[in-house]
Every structure is written in C-alpha cells, then in structure tokens.
Amino acid sequence: MLDIKWEDFYKITRDRPPWPLLIQAVSLVAHKERALDLGYGADFSLHLRWPEDIDALCRAMIAEGLSVPGSCDDLLAEELWFDGYSAWVDRISQTLPLAIAHASAISVKRIAERWVKSYIPDPSADPVYYASAYNGAVRALSDLCMVSQDVLERGRALLLFRLW
C-alpha cells in the first residue's frame, strides 16, 4: 500500500483552489452533504480522450488484478450536474475507490505503464514524452489512491468533474 498521509495532500494542494466552474457545479448539486468533502484543492486534471483513455485505464487496472468495471460508462454511477453544454459532475461507482485505495506503489507503477503504453505504444519513439506521460500517470494514480482511502474512511462518494 502507498504510504500517503492526508495531511501531506493538504500541504501540497493548499495553494491550489478549486476551479470556479467546479464551485458553481457543486453549488447546484442537490445532496450537498455528499458533494465535496475533499474536492477543494484536489487537482487531478489530465487531458484525456473520453472514453478511450478511461477505458484503457480500466483495462490496465483489470490487468493488474483490480476489480473495476471494464469501461468508463460503467464507472459513472450517477450524473449529479450538467451545465447543458460542456461540464459535468458525476458520482463514481464505489468499485473504483474500493479497488485502488490499497494498491501498492509497484502496482500503481504497473498500471501507469500499461495505461500510458495504450496511447504511446513505442516509448522509444519519443522517450521524453513517454517519461512525462508516465510520471504524470503515476502521480495521478497515487493521488487517486490517497483520495480513495479518504473517501472510504469517511463513507463518502468519489466525484468526477468532466469538462469537454
């Protein structure tokens, strides 16, 4: 299991407030008590192709033996808000935090490697780009592990803010 302290996360993200559109979205969610206990400051922003990159992440986690849905559509449990144009807040299925919360650092690195190789099949073609993508994936997955641990400890839901 990754040795991550919640206090460390707060220190790292202290000066990174949430996006204004995220604040607006959360203000419109009907069940605010479930909305964002830990969303402020958290920035797992990745520029992903929907659904291809999320499906590839699901496949990478499954290959590592994690019990997660096979596609992004199955990860989305409930749409909580949609601005009618290009932004959503979705509640994520509890299967994701249950599966990733206690993944080891080695497991996270293997998932990241499989995930990145799904869209950069030949790392030697551009090793700098591959290294950057891999390191970003490891950081994002490590952060996801930490947030998932907290979500489970607090009995809360994991939310996804999507911007098209």
26, 32 contact by CB (below 8 A): yes
Whether 145 is covered by a domain: the verdict is: yes
Give CA separation, 24 vs 9, 19, 32, 64, in Å: 23, 9, 12, 37
- Alpha-carbon gap, residue 164 to 67, rounded angstroms: 28
User: Of all helices (H) and strands (E), which one includes residue 39?
Assistant: none
Whether 123 is covered by a domain: the verdict is: yes
Q: Please count the structural domains in the chain.
A: 1
Structural domain including 18 reads 6-163
Strand pairing partners for 97? none
* Phi, psi (degrees; rounded to nearest 5) at 66: -80, 145
Whether 1 is covered by a domain: the verdict is: no
Whether 102 is covered by a domain: the verdict is: yes
| Structure confidence by residue, pLDDT tens digits, 29-43 | 544 443 333 443 344
Whether 91 is covered by a domain: the verdict is: yes
pTM exceeds 0.85 for this model? no
| Structure confidence by residue, pLDDT tens digits, 74-104 | 988 988 888 888 888 888 899 999 999 989 9
Whether 109 is covered by a domain: the verdict is: yes
Whether 22 is covered by a domain: the verdict is: yes
